[in-house]
Amino acid sequence: MNRLFLRFLGPVLLSIAVATALVYAAITWIFGDPIEQSALRQAAPQIFLIEQYIDKAASDEWLLRLNKVREVSQVKFELIPLKQALEKLTQSQRQQLSTGKIVVNAAQRVLYRRVDLDGERYIGSEDDVLLVQELPIDYWFNIKLEVVRYIIVAFVLLIPIGFWSRAHWRDIQALAKVTENFGAGQLSARASTPAAASIYPLAQQINQMANRIETLLSSQQHLLHSVSHELRTPIARLEFALEILQSGLGSSDINGKQTQRIIAMQGDLSELNSLVSELLDSAKLDAQGQLQRETIVLEMFIQNCLQHLPPKPQGLDLQVECAATNKSLFVDQRLLSRAIQNLLKNAYKYADQKIIWRLKMQGEHWLISVEDDGAGIPASEREKIFDAFYRLDRSRDRATGGFGLGLSIVRQIIVLHGGRIHISESELGGAKFEISLPMVA
């Protein structure tokens, strides 16, 4: 939100600066440079002396009067050659000077003026310029005056913009909060933007969209939940029936063929049972809006995860790297362990010899990665693999079991924690699953 504010404030301030520059340029063009004009006002006594006292003298008295003024004035009056004066002036100032006008340089506190244009005062007077130095001009005061003037204009402009954007702001922020909550799983979150607000139509559309998503999700969850539940009872009945059948066979199954078939059927049923359990878990996660966060020391968390893993296949090396085992996580411990265990179980299935599980802090995030030296996951499959029932290489996967629900559950858990998961290629050669979890106080 701050970024949005800065992006808005930037152009506003820039436009005010551009407007100020334009106003200054327009005033200068129409009425002359305001700074120069106030310098002229400050130098008015000296200009008055030149125009009304020195210049009013008869030709032969002109120099006398100038000298008299020199004697009494603290300001320096000097005669310099026209060529020297021209060197110090800009093109437009030269033009002004050539028409006999007074040229002021406010920053240097000086003014220039031709003695005359046709050599009437004394011989060669048309080639001389009267340079008046150390004029009582306060250049910085004039600049400050102009700056204050424009700052006041900018403030007056900013006040209505500020009021307008504040109201706008609050509405946008409230809407952003709603979408954030909705995205975090709080499906009942809706915008209550007032009808008079300018973003009201947008808020209405977001609410409609949220309604549709909520309805769709809840009917999908309901369906999944009901189907899974309904399947449980016939599965249990079949298991029971198979057990009775097996115990009833007794000595009649001479070569054990019937028993073998029953055992195979029991295996299929237990597979079906775990599929139903995973489906129910997935549906529960979908419906879950809130996490049961608790504080857990990292060392305990690691131990908990490892304890509930199936036995590690022989010849496989699992390396756990964590530099901050005494730090604490504030997470839904049951769910996060489940996610990590799913990743580690997959690594058990697909690694050749080595698995590394890393946990570290980076800025405001926990980075958790599980990588192995197995066959890896092609870049084109890395997104799809998180979809439910998506499996990579069917011939390879069949041997490893599973329904393609494990990673989809991992992603659900990480998203519920406000985190992200992505796959890359491990330095070990296999797949690297990286989780980034925001630290929650």
Residue carrying structure tokens 């033009």: 95
Phi, psi for 114 (deg, rounded to 5): -65, 140
Kindly tell me which of 137 and 419 has the beta carbon lying closer to ligand ADP. Answer: 419
3-state secondary structure of 317: strand
3-state secondary structure of 75: coil
Options 217, 281, 403, 425; binder of ligand ADP; rule CB under 6 A: 403
Q: What angle do CA 62, 66, 68 make, to 5 degrees?
A: 115
**Exposure on the CB side of residue 222, measured as CA atoms within 13 A:** 6
- The reply to whether 414 sits near ligand ADP by the rule CB under 6 A is no
Residue 367 · residue 358 · CB < 8 Å: yes
- The reply to whether 402 sits near ligand ADP by the rule CB under 6 A is yes
Residue 239 · residue 266 · CB < 8 Å: yes
d(CA 434, CA 358): 9
- The reply to whether 340 sits near ligand ADP by the rule CB under 6 A is no
Kindly tell me which of 46 and 412 has the beta carbon lying closer to ligand ADP. Answer: 412
Per-residue binding string, ligand ADP, 357-376, x by CB under 6 A, is ---------------x-xx-
In whole angstroms, the minimum distance from the beta carbon of 244 to ligand ADP comes to: 32
Kindly tell me which of 193 and 282 has the beta carbon lying closer to ligand ADP. Answer: 282
In whole angstroms, the minimum distance from the beta carbon of 382 to ligand ADP comes to: 10
Environment class of 18 (CB within 10 Å of its CB; exposed 0-12, middle 13-18, buried 19+): exposed
Residue 207 · residue 191 · CB < 8 Å: yes
Options 40, 66, 377, 428; binder of ligand ADP; rule CB under 6 A: 377
Tokens of residue 9, six digits? 């404030």
Tokens of residue 327, six digits? 């730090």
Environment class of 424 (CB within 10 Å of its CB; exposed 0-12, middle 13-18, buried 19+): middle
d(CA 198, CA 195): 8
Kindly tell me which of 419 and 430 has the beta carbon lying closer to ligand ADP. Answer: 430
Options 350, 366, 416, 417; binder of ligand ADP; rule CB under 6 A: 350
- The reply to whether 385 sits near ligand ADP by the rule CB under 6 A is yes
* Angle between the N-to-C axes of helices 34-42 and 2-31, in degrees from 0 to 180, rounded to the nearest 10: 50
Options 38, 109, 366, 406; binder of ligand ADP; rule CB under 6 A: 406
Per-residue binding string, ligand ADP, 100-139, x by CB under 6 A, is ----------------------------------------
In whole angstroms, the minimum distance from the beta carbon of 354 to ligand ADP comes to: 12
In whole angstroms, the minimum distance from the beta carbon of 319 to ligand ADP comes to: 15
Kindly tell me which of 262 and 375 has the beta carbon lying closer to ligand ADP. Answer: 375
- The reply to whether 430 sits near ligand ADP by the rule CB under 6 A is yes
> Which residues sit at the interface with ligand ADP, rule CB under 6 A?
342, 346-347, 350, 372, 374-375, 377, 385, 391-393, 397, 402-408, 430-431
